[in-house]
Amino acid sequence: MQMLEERQEEMIAIRRYLHENPELSFQEENTSKYIEDFYKGKDVKLDTKVGGGYGLIVTINGGKPGKTIGLRADFDALPIEEQTGLPFQSKNPGVMHACAHDGHTAYLMVLADCLLALKDEIPGVIKIIHQPAEEVPPGGAIGMIESGLLDDLDNIFGIHLLPLGPAGVVGYNSGYVFPGRAYFKLTIQGRGGHGSSPHLANDAIVAGAHFVIAIQTVISRRLNPFDMGVVTIGSFDGKGTFNVIKDRVELEGDVRGMSEETRSKIEEEVHRMAKGMEQEFGVQIELDYKPDYPPLYNDPEVTKMVASYLHNANDPRIKEVREFPKMAPSEDFAHYAKKFPANFFYICCTPEGVTNPYFNHHPKFDMDEHALLVAAKAVGHVVCGYYQLS
């Protein structure tokens, strides 16, 4: 752990470089090259362009036989115009590391290098997974998994930096912890006409407005009250002229469900309501429904193990370890957790002196960079506990 302490400034420097040079999902060519250059010449197996994209897998073969684990960090940015005013603010207009993926990558690069120095003591194999395209469906995790390079994993671990407390607070939880997600686009084709003669037309806006209200009854009347589900209509494209009855509108929606059963139930109900609208309003409906990220499941036994390692770390950088509530966003780490027993936990990063921080995905999002060292040490303690390293 002393090696990590000595390289804190390096983590911060890497994070700032990445923050200045963000790249969008599936376009991270320069970021991938930067990460690749970091590992070149080191005693690792380096796989690049994994999954047909910009992913990298760095394999550290230990000096003794044993289990194989994966440590994953994502490195894509968001289509957001940065408003932080930081001296290392994004140089790419309209692109920002607003979700802390720059921090995820920085901590893991340095941690990987420190683990490499201990490779002879490691009874097993550690695979460092630098994943692109977490933010945009279908996500980069699928390509990493389908490459086959991770088939031998026994367990996988990941973290997320979140401004839910000061640096030094680490959180964990078990079971279904992040909801699954789906996207849909509903196109309603009616019959346009003159605003003075609605009886001669078939108003697509009225049908669409009904759908916006009715779809909320899926949550209130079709789901068990103890099941978490959300349907959001984020776009209603019906702009026209004030005295013309609109013949066609398009709606786009976002679906979240904390279990596969809930997500499937919502999908079933959206299809049912869309079909019913054709009869009720005499319109034609085209529905494009795409499930993407599954719910993220933290294996209870693996979570118990991780919590134990963190609670017993006795590390002055880790000031508090506690169980966190379930989270509302979705995360494509869920694809790994669906295939391998996994744990995804949380590193708090609220900037010092800030009581009401901007959350991830906000144009003013920032972090306390001391959290990078906390992340590296927390994951380091999990690795050391897992392999019983002193």
Catalytic residues: 76, 134
**N- to C-terminal Cα distance for the chain?**
10
Pick from 227, 178, 187, 165: which is nearest to 356 by CA?
165
Query: Rounded to an integer, what distance in angstroms lies between the CA atom of residue 125 and that of residue 267?
Result: 40
Strand-by-strand arrangement of the 169-172 sheet:
45-50, 55-61, 123-131, 64-74, 155-166, 342-350, 169-172, 320-323
Q: Which two tokens stand for residue 352?
A: 């010092």
CB atoms under 10 Å from CB of 129, counted, come to 27
Q: What is the length of the chain?
A: 390
Q: With CA atoms as reference, report the closest residue to 135 among 99, 164, 90.
A: 99
Q: What is the DSSP string of 21-48?
A: S--BTT--HHHHHHHHHHHTTSSSEEEE
Measure the CA–CA gap between 277 and 284, rounded to whole angstroms.
8
Tokens describing residue 100: 């802390």
Joined together, the tokens standing for residue 80 give 């957001």
- In the 8-state DSSP scheme, what is residue 77? B
Three-state secondary-structure class, residue 347? strand
DSSP assignment letter at 137: T
Q: Is 40 exposed, middle or buried, given 0-12, 13-18 or 19+ CB atoms closer than 10 A?
A: exposed
Report the C-alpha gap between 31 and 21 in whole angstroms: 8
